[in-house]
Chain A
Amino acid sequence: MPAYLLRRLFQSALILLGVSLVTFILLYVLPADPVRQIAGRSATPQVVENIRRQLGLDQPFLVQYGRYLWGLLQGDFGRSYLQKTDVATLIAARLPATLQLMGGAILCELVLGLTMGIVAALRRGRALDQGLMIVSFVAVSAPQFVVSLLLLYVFAVKLGWFPIGGYGTLSHLVLPAVTLGILGSGWYSRMMRSSMIDVLRQDYIRTARAKGLTRGRVILRHALPNAILPIVAMIGIDIGIFMGGIVVVESVFGWPGIGQLAWQAIQRIDIPIIMGVTMVSACAIVLGNLLADLVTPFIDPRIKLK
């Protein structure tokens, strides 16, 4: 187990190195010039060159990347070009809001998705199953900006149940978390349904029924732990899918998280922030996957981490 953990952490570090390199290359070859953004349209070529030299952007690619990496190893994400603040400070200030939003969204997608999936599997082929699968199909295909605006209009503007935007209380969290969760719930309900149908066909379910167990116990104690295994691995991967949605949802609901930070930085080509947010997200995805893999042996004793 410790050997497994060490090996996985080493692999994770390699992945993060790869992510940083690819992102850095993409930002380097970008046709837009960050220095122009900082200096403004009316700046003289002399001023532009000065700023470029100050930021070290006149150096060859490898030097720039080497410097960035060296800083990263010391926990230094660099300074924002425009906000003149440490990127680490900016991210740290906004990370709790995003984590809260993700937590809420994961909870929402699991509760919605797993329930829909289990119910559909138990009513396989009937009207309820077909209805739920249409719902899940709509959920995965609806664009998030449409869903968020729809929820805002109905539950905030018309019904007034939740605030229109902002951050702070639980009721602020509901609409953005549900918006993010709806997409995932569509995926999860489909996966859970097919996984559950597969498990219900297994011999050990027949054994459990032959023992005279109640239907509830057969489903919750015998079918569910087996059916949920593929879903656990999925949650780890899911964090990556979330990052795209978070940029949209945080903008619509005025949620002060790293999604908004990233959005603003991309518009102004504030490279250190883009890099910082990318690295933090990549970290979250890698850790999420690791965590999912560490949890599986507790559900399935056949899996040994070696």
Chain B
Amino acid sequence: MSGAAPLSGAASAPDADALPALTVEGLEVSVRTEAGLRPLVSGLSFTLARGETLAIAGESGSGKSITSLAIMGLLPPPAVRITGGRIKLGRTELTDLPEGRMRAIRGDRVAMIFQEPMTSLNPVLTIGTQLAEAIRAHETVSKAEARARALEALRSVRLSQPERRLDQYPHELSGGMRQRVMIAMALALRPEVLIADEPTTALDVTVQREVLDLLRDLQRELGTAIILITHDMGVVAEMADRVIVMRDGRMVEEGRATQIFTEPRADYTRALLAAVPRMGAGRGRPPVEAEPIARLSDLQVRFDLKGGLLGRTQARVHAVEHVSFDIRRGETFALVGESGCGKSTIAKAMVGLVPHEGRIEIGGQTLGTLDAAGRKALRRRVQIVFQDPMAALDPRMRIGDLIAEPLVIHGIGTPEERRARVGDLLTRVGLSPAQMERYPHEFSGGQRQRICIARALALRPELIIADESVSALDVSVQARVLDLLAALKREFGIALLFISHDMAVVENVSDRVAVMYLGQIVEMGTRDQVFGNPQHPYTRRLIEAVPVPDPLHQRPPAPRLAGEIPSPVHPVGAGPERVRLADVGAGHLVAG
């Protein structure tokens, strides 16, 4: 059971190649509820060959994560458990294994990496300790030797300054670096099977690219079989040899990756693929010519970092630096960039949630010069829809009251009129007025986002800020919410500031685009200019990093960048180098 001969399984038996690394037969997983056992996964069977990558694709609730936890023996007891079927790792039957023996297999013969690198490492233990204990849990080696092996593991995942990382704590590392540590930890003992549960979902697109490349290289080197669990068909196309599509706990379709993408058999697979936003789908729409509804000039947002005996400002976070753009009536203006680039801070500044320098003009009125009544009036004209619809709705209020609240605050209408308006809004976003008396938890994620949109529409705003509003939704739901936004925009002539990290979605929905990097705009122009003829290297890197949902797509070889984005924190008096935008033709602005 120890990993003294980690690769023994591969060479021992003559039929080693024929023996699958993992066999799942008729797996049933159920949760115990008050109404009895409810199946989460039913009748799932598949095999995983050695060295193969099998993707399990599906939307939330499809049972894909539950399947991975069942293989690891980590189902949350006592409510969720395996109620039927068998799981075999090589020749070892896992289903009835006592916890003691399962523990010895976990991490040694089958390892797992998780979606959230930010929370998957223990914050109070150093990286070195967490790596070394994984090794020492399965092999009797000295502490010094375990540390040496940990260092080697960090080198193999191409982490910069590996010696220093050993003594650092997780919070000192970025998300991408932490996910590398997770991979190093999972592969340190050369497991036969690696389960990667949405390994890149929480990462920026360029970091996702690096992590996917790394996983593929390591797999080639070690011959590990990988089960890749993901909702992202682009990632599936890039990584998988074979694909299983799951829905509601059942397998809908299984096949080679090329077959799934070129000739999907199941209707659900076809629908899923159709919903995936693809680059190029938005090409050729003429830009909107109209008066600007919002105009930002030389906007700056900085946050002070205080310290010392007297609590003086010692450094500043330069979140937004000299940003200027305008949003025309009825157009969709997209701000795109990776986490920490300042795009959400701009949204907050525009609705007055953070103090700013520079000028924000909305409908001809300057934000900084207004009194309280003026600011309140201005808020009627700009509404915002956030990323997480569950967090944005008060769980103790009925949705009718939630949608009517902006009307109440601004003293619009009588209760009867408001009720009629709410009913009308619910119909507009594809829900029914009869649902007014229900609470947010009774709705699905996509429906909740529709409720948030209805609330934003209640005041008939001229500008809606959608801050990553579709990022947390499943692709099929995302497609429907995007359609809704487009329809509302046409109908009411609302302008949309669309903030997103997803290049494909932005390409599909926007009229004009600004690319942000470290608080500054590095490229801005119409969609066709920015996506059809990207000029700035960062824009190109973002576009090239997007996984393409086509297994035959050949990605141009890109330089391998393991670097980290520089910090936006500068000492008082200093600041980032200011980029100058130059017009390269027809209003296409690029940083020089």
Taking a contact as CB atoms under 8 Å apart, the answer to whether B116 and A203 are in contact is: yes
Taking a contact as CB atoms under 8 Å apart, the answer to whether B307 and A210 are in contact is: no
CA distance A260 to B264 in the complex (A): 84
Interface membership of B112, Cβ < 8 A: yes
Interface membership of B480, Cβ < 8 A: no
Known: A302-B169, A302-B171. A209 touches B123 (CB 8 A): no
Known: A203-B120, A204-B123. A214 touches B309 (CB 8 A): no
Interface membership of B122, Cβ < 8 A: yes
Among B104, B133, B171, B311, residue most surrounded by chain A Cβ atoms (within 10 Å)? B133
Taking a contact as CB atoms under 8 Å apart, the answer to whether A217 and B124 are in contact is: no
Interface membership of A300, Cβ < 8 A: yes
Taking a contact as CB atoms under 8 Å apart, the answer to whether B114 and A212 are in contact is: no
Taking a contact as CB atoms under 8 Å apart, the answer to whether A212 and B105 are in contact is: yes
CB distance from A306 to the nearest CB of B (A): 5
Q: Which of A291-306 touch B at CB < 8 Å? A: 299-302, 306
CA distance A34 to B72 in the complex (A): 75
Known: A207-B182, A301-B171, A302-B169. A212 touches B124 (CB 8 A): no
CA distance A44 to B125 in the complex (A): 74
Taking a contact as CB atoms under 8 Å apart, the answer to whether B309 and A204 are in contact is: no
Taking a contact as CB atoms under 8 Å apart, the answer to whether A210 and B111 are in contact is: yes
Contacts of B111 in A (CB 8 A): 210-211
CA distance A204 to B114 in the complex (A): 10
Interface membership of A6, Cβ < 8 A: yes
Interface membership of B137, Cβ < 8 A: yes
CA distance A95 to B8 in the complex (A): 68
Q: Which residue of B lies closest to A202 (CB)?
A: B119
Q: Which of A71-79, A148-156, A188-196, A219-227 contacts B (4 or more CB under 8 A)?
A: A219-227
Taking a contact as CB atoms under 8 Å apart, the answer to whether B122 and A212 are in contact is: no
CA distance A149 to B35 in the complex (A): 50
Known: A7-B309, A226-B124. A211 touches B133 (CB 8 A): yes
CB distance from B75 to the nearest CB of A (A): 11
Contacts of A206 in B (CB 8 A): 74, 114, 120
Residue from A6, A211, A226, A299 in contact with B309 in the complex, judged by beta carbons closer than 8 Å: A6
Residue from B99, B106, B123, B306 in contact with A211 in the complex, judged by beta carbons closer than 8 Å: B106
CB distance from B101 to the nearest CB of A (A): 11
Taking a contact as CB atoms under 8 Å apart, the answer to whether B133 and A207 are in contact is: no
Taking a contact as CB atoms under 8 Å apart, the answer to whether B137 and A214 are in contact is: yes
CA distance A203 to B119 in the complex (A): 6
CA distance A222 to B123 in the complex (A): 9
Q: Which residue of A lies closest to B168 (CB)?
A: A301
- 1/0 contact trace for B94-125 toward A, CB 8 Å? 00000100011111100110101001111111
Interface membership of B185, Cβ < 8 A: yes
Taking a contact as CB atoms under 8 Å apart, the answer to whether A3 and B123 are in contact is: no
**Interface size of B in residues (CB-CB distance below 8 Å):** 33
CA distance A207 to B185 in the complex (A): 10
Contacts of B125 in A (CB 8 A): 221-222, 225
CA distance A300 to B123 in the complex (A): 7
CB distance from B368 to the nearest CB of A (A): 31
CB distance from B516 to the nearest CB of A (A): 28
CA distance A210 to B114 in the complex (A): 10
Taking a contact as CB atoms under 8 Å apart, the answer to whether A210 and B106 are in contact is: yes
Taking a contact as CB atoms under 8 Å apart, the answer to whether A212 and B108 are in contact is: yes
Among A204, A213, A214, residue most surrounded by chain B Cβ atoms (within 10 Å)? A204
Taking a contact as CB atoms under 8 Å apart, the answer to whether B103 and A212 are in contact is: yes
Main secondary structure of the interface of B (DSSP, over half): loop
Taking a contact as CB atoms under 8 Å apart, the answer to whether B138 and A204 are in contact is: no
Taking a contact as CB atoms under 8 Å apart, the answer to whether A204 and B122 are in contact is: yes
Q: Which residue of B lies closest to A209 (CB)?
A: B74
Main secondary structure of the interface of A (DSSP, over half): helix
Taking a contact as CB atoms under 8 Å apart, the answer to whether B124 and A209 are in contact is: no
Q: Which residue of B lies closest to A228 (CB)?
A: B124
Known: A7-B309, A302-B171, A306-B307. A210 touches B124 (CB 8 A): no
Contacts of B138 in A (CB 8 A): 212
CA distance A306 to B103 in the complex (A): 42
Interface membership of A208, Cβ < 8 A: yes
CA distance A7 to B125 in the complex (A): 29
Contacts of A301 in B (CB 8 A): 123-124, 169, 171
CA distance A179 to B90 in the complex (A): 59
Taking a contact as CB atoms under 8 Å apart, the answer to whether A204 and B119 are in contact is: yes
Q: Which of B38-80 touch A at CB < 8 Å? A: 72, 74
Taking a contact as CB atoms under 8 Å apart, the answer to whether A207 and B104 are in contact is: no
Residue from B104, B107, B309 in contact with A210 in the complex, judged by beta carbons closer than 8 Å: B107
Residue from B114, B124, B134 in contact with A299 in the complex, judged by beta carbons closer than 8 Å: B124
Taking a contact as CB atoms under 8 Å apart, the answer to whether A226 and B133 are in contact is: no
Among A204, A212, A222, residue most surrounded by chain B Cβ atoms (within 10 Å)? A212
Contacts of B185 in A (CB 8 A): 207, 211
CA distance A98 to B200 in the complex (A): 58
CA distance A199 to B347 in the complex (A): 34
Taking a contact as CB atoms under 8 Å apart, the answer to whether B74 and A210 are in contact is: yes
Q: Which of B181-209 touch A at CB < 8 Å? A: 182, 185
Interface membership of B308, Cβ < 8 A: yes
Contacts of B116 in A (CB 8 A): 203
CB distance from B307 to the nearest CB of A (A): 5
Taking a contact as CB atoms under 8 Å apart, the answer to whether B103 and A210 are in contact is: no
CA distance A224 to B228 in the complex (A): 32
Residue from B104, B120, B123, B308 in contact with A226 in the complex, judged by beta carbons closer than 8 Å: B123
Taking a contact as CB atoms under 8 Å apart, the answer to whether B121 and A211 are in contact is: no
CA distance A207 to B306 in the complex (A): 35
Q: Which residue of A lies closest to B119 (CB)?
A: A203
Taking a contact as CB atoms under 8 Å apart, the answer to whether A208 and B122 are in contact is: yes
Taking a contact as CB atoms under 8 Å apart, the answer to whether A211 and B107 are in contact is: yes
Known: A6-B309, A212-B108, A302-B169. A222 touches B122 (CB 8 A): yes
Given pairs A207-B120, A222-B125, 20 additional interface contacts (CB within 8 A): A3-B309, A7-B309, A203-B114, A208-B122, A209-B74, A210-B106, A211-B137, A212-B104, A212-B105, A212-B108, A212-B134, A212-B138, A213-B133, A215-B99, A226-B123, A300-B124, A301-B124, A301-B169, A302-B123, A306-B307
Would you give 6 A-B contacts (Cβ < 8 Å), ordered by A? A203-B114, A208-B122, A213-B107, A221-B133, A226-B123, A302-B123
Q: Which 7 A-B pairs have the closest CB atoms?
A: A212-B107, A212-B106, A211-B107, A3-B309, A203-B119, A204-B122, A211-B134
**Contact surface of B with A, Cβ cutoff 8 Å:** 72, 74, 99, 103-108, 111-112, 114, 116, 119-125, 133-134, 137-138, 169, 171, 182, 185, 306-309, 311
